[in-house]
């Protein structure tokens, strides 16, 4: 009989003390409350949030619409917070269960607040676009991301503080571990530092067309902490580690002011000196009078007889178009090519092509 009595006492002890001083019945109630909170959360999301969304969208303001859409996930946490708060009101504060419920409430409330702030940063980040007048677009994106990561870090610290875990000793304890990680993650830190230098030096920005010598050429779509995404001209994306930009020359094609034309025009050897002078003079006059070209001390125009080639007399045409747009540049080149052909044909000359004359004795 004593054995059965001991077993019954042990079972009663388990039910009364349970886990971490919380009885199994209390744990069961918490589990049931959690399930009930999840059910209420679904109803809250379908009914209350939906009705609030309909009211907000009637304002016609896209900013508050985007803000409310971003806040919907944390708002769905409200029923869970309220259910645990309601349970706490009917629990003794000094009891083990009451202490844990208070910590759970504080944890849920902290997560809710920081989650709201984090989600609100997504639509409100559009307000940072005004900073693009001072900083580059990539710098603004990095600033926005840094603030989001800071909010997550502060929220984590606040949750740890609720459970009595001091972040200071934890960080100090991770110091040696961090050294070991740093030795194994040198490339990561190298890419991070290189990415920061890209933003500070403003070597290129999002939307620029760059040529990374020996790697690729395309449009910059994103400058991240570890790598930069470049969209090649055939629409293929390629990610390049940031440290590459510190090791190889990078040509920023977008940053150039004008596009250059450097042509060699070959005329037949039957062309007279008078015809050559007339052709070069007419081409030069056309370019100088055209608004499509830039001619000044910094951007020189040259239309000269260059050399006597194997099968032609070569004329060099060297100048700069008044655009950096590739499509406009092609149109200007086309107009110039047609004009040169008209000038050459108008002076009874012909373009040369590779040829060979064979002489034989009779």
Condensed to tens digits (0 to 9), the pLDDT of residues 76-85 reads: 777 777 777 7
* CA nearest to 287, candidates 260, 326, 314: 260
Confidence of residue 126 (pLDDT cuts 50, 70, 90): low
- Among residues 195, 217, 252, the one where a domain terminates is 252
Verify that 271 and 208 share a domain, yes or no: no
Please report, for residues 1, 191, 256, 325, 328, the alpha-carbon distance to residue 208 in angstroms, rounded to integers and kept in the order given.
Answer: 87, 20, 11, 12, 17
Is 361 inside a domain boundary? no
**What domain range is 243 assigned to?**
203-252
* CA nearest to 112, candidates 75, 150, 159: 75
What distance, in Å, lies between the first and last C-alpha atoms of the chain? 140
Q: How far apart are CA 204 and CA 245, in angstroms?
A: 10
Is 274 inside a domain boundary? yes
- Per residue in 207-246, pLDDT (tens digit) is 888 888 888 889 999 888 788 899 998 889 998 888 888 8
Verify that 93 and 60 share a domain, yes or no: yes
Whether the pLDDT of residue 145 is over 80: the answer is no
pLDDT given at position 63: 58
Q: How far apart are CA 81 and CA 40, in angstroms?
A: 11
Give the chain's radius of gyration (CA, Å). 37
Q: How far apart are CA 176 and CA 29, in angstroms?
A: 43
Mean pLDDT of 6-13: 58
Is 5 inside a domain boundary? no
330 vs 170, more confident = 330
* CA nearest to 221, candidates 107, 213, 233: 233
Verify that 266 and 123 share a domain, yes or no: no
Q: Are 70 and 125 a contacting pair, CB within 8 Å? A: no
Q: How far apart are CA 159 and CA 226, in angstroms?
A: 29
121 vs 8, more confident = 121
Verify that 28 and 93 share a domain, yes or no: yes
Q: Are 264 and 314 a contacting pair, CB within 8 Å? A: yes
Verify that 210 and 86 share a domain, yes or no: no
Is 187 inside a domain boundary? no
Please tell me the pTM assigned to this model: 0.47
Count of structural domains, the chain:
3
CB proximity list for 292: less than 8 A, separation 6 or greater? 321, 322, 323, 332, 335
Verify that 221 and 131 share a domain, yes or no: no
Verify that 125 and 57 share a domain, yes or no: yes
């Amino acid at each position: 009989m004593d054995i059965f009595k001991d077993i019954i006492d042990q079972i009663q002890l388990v039910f009364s003390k349970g886990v971490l001083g919380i009885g199994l019945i209390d744990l069961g109630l918490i589990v049931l409350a959690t399930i009930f909170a999840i059910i209420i959360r679904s109803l809250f999301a379908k009914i209350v949030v939906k009705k609030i969304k309909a009211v907000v969208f009637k304002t016609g303001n896209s900013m508050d619409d985007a803000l409310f859409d971003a806040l919907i996930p944390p708002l769905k946490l409200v029923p869970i917070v309220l259910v645990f708060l309601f349970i706490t009101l009917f629990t003794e504060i000094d009891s083990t269960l009451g202490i844990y419920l208070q910590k759970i409430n504080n944890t849920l409330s902290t997560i809710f607040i920081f989650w709201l702030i984090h989600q609100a940063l997504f639509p409100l980040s559009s307000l940072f676009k005004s900073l693009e007048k001072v900083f580059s677009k990539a710098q603004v994106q990095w600033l926005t991301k840094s603030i989001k990561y800071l909010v997550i870090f502060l929220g984590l610290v606040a949750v740890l503080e609720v459970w009595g875990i001091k972040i200071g000793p934890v960080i100090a304890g991770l110091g040696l571990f961090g050294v070991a990680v740093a030795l194994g993650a040198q490339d990561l830190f190298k890419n991070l530092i290189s990415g920061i230098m890209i933003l500070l030096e403003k070597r290129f920005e999002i939307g620029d067309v760059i040529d990374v010598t020996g790697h690729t050429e395309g449009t910059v779509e994103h400058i991240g902490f570890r790598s930069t995404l470049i969209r090649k001209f055939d629409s293929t994306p390629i990610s390049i580690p940031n440290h590459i930009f510190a090791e190889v020359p990078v040509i920023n094609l977008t940053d150039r002011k004008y596009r250059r034309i450097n042509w060699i025009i070959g005329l037949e050897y039957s062309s007279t000196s008078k015809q050559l002078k007339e052709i070069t003079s007419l081409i030069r006059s056309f370019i100088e009078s055209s608004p499509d070209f830039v001619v000044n001390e910094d951007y020189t125009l040259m239309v000269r007889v260059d050399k006597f080639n194997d099968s032609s007399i070569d004329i060099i045409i060297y100048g700069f178009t008044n655009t950096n747009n590739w499509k406009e540049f092609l149109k200007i080149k086309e107009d110039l090519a047609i004009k040169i052909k008209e000038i050459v044909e108008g002076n009874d000359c012909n373009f040369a092509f590779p040829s060979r004359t064979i002489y034989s004795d009779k």
